[in-house]
Amino acid sequence: MDFVKPRVVISKCLGFEPCYYSGQMFNIDFIDKLGKYVDYYPVCPELEIGLGVPRQTIRIVRNKNDNKDLRLFQPKTEKDLTEKMNNFSEDFLKQFDALDGFIFKERSPSCGPQNVKIYSDIQGQVIHQDGVGFFAQKANQLFPFTAVEGDGRLNNLQLREHFLTKLFTFASFRKINETNRMKNLVKFHSDNKYLLMAYDQEVLNEMGRIVANHEKLNSEKVYNLYRNKLIEIFKEKPNYKSILNVLNHIFGYFKNELISDEKEFFLNIIDKYRENKVPLSVPIHLLNAWIIEYEVDYLKDQSFIEPFPNELVDLTDSGKNNDRLR
Ligand code: SF4
């Protein structure tokens, strides 16, 4: 399958420069491997606003006069870095016409995509831990149609596959969106049908109605409506039952071709997948072999079979953040 190369902004300390406040750099195999399939744009917002390496730590602090207003401070020097960081983030991000994803260093008051500590005041205590770094927040505002993940969560198999699926689907949508042609949107919807079904059947149906365009809207409006639904459908990783449903749907294409031993073998594998004994790639590989053997052209183009380059399939898993292994 041909993939559009996603455009990804990434925290520079994740293998590009030892720019962490302590002078560290973090080498992560997956990020390294992914580099062959995406265009990375590394950035260290703290370096860019003039903080050196090593440097005193900075923190997000609640404004005493306004509970909702958060400021970025360096407690040791008592410098308020809020405006500098906001201005840099906006200027840096605005140079991009389009981006497909962000990979951020977790827990950083600049880059952290979630679970960042918020302090009561410059020298005070942690009041909660569900903040977002200043740069990451600007990225979310300016590029809501992107796959965003933190370095630690990418160690989890389900979250990593969800991130990759989203990233490569968004990149492919960006490409057809540039053409603004309805024909390309119809093809995109058709090629992604089973993948989207694995995420949410109801939203898939709504997307189908958008593409059918009975209201005869112009293509720009149709693309915008469709994009909003793509964001919605990828909000959560797919649930286990929907994936089983899609596997059975695709299996249905071969019911008349397969002998009973083959059918039994497949159903056995599905049971093992349900019991968490084999990863999703096992039943998918089997289905793919039949798609090739029986030349089912419609299924050959289905992104569910290969939502991101196969070379990125990696079964290592931290075991953290799991509700159920795929
Ligand atoms: S987390 Fe962000 S700001 Fe901190 S060192 Fe890494 S790239 Fe720089």
Tokens of 13: 């300390």
Query: pTM, whole model, 2 decimals?
Result: 0.93
Q: Distance between CA atoms of 202 and 197, rounded to whole angstroms?
A: 8
Tokens of 112: 């952290």
Counting ligand 1 atoms within 8 A of each CB, the residue from 8, 9, 17, 20 with the most, and so the one to mutate, is: 20
| CA angle, residues 175, 149, 101, in degrees to nearest 5 | 20
Strand partners, 7: 39
- The residue whose C-alpha atom lies closest to atom 4 belonging to ligand 1 is 20
Query: What is the number of other CB atoms lying within 10 angstroms of the CB of residue 301?
Result: 14
Q: Determine if ligand 1 sits within 6 Å of the CB of residue 19.
A: yes
For residue 3, give every residue at least 6 positions away whose Cβ sits within 8 Å of its Cβ, in sequence order, or none.
Answer: 37, 168, 171, 172, 308, 309
Q: Which helix (H) or strand (E) holds 104?
A: strand 101-104
Residue of 96, 146, 109 whose CA lies nearest to 20: 109
Q: Determine if ligand 1 sits within 6 Å of the CB of residue 12.
A: yes
Query: What is the number of other CB atoms lying within 10 angstroms of the CB of residue 166?
Result: 26
Q: Which atom of ligand 1 is nearest to the CA of 13?
A: 6
pLDDT of residue 277: 84
pLDDT tens column, 185-202: 999 999 999 999 999 999
pLDDT tens column, 221-242: 999 999 999 999 999 999 888 9
Say what percent of the chain tops pLDDT 70.
96
Give the chain's residues under pLDDT 50. Answer: 323-326
Q: Determine if ligand 1 sits within 6 Å of the CB of residue 13.
A: yes
Q: Determine if ligand 1 sits within 6 Å of the CB of residue 111.
A: yes
Between the CA of 55 and the centroid of ligand 1 the distance, in Å, is 11
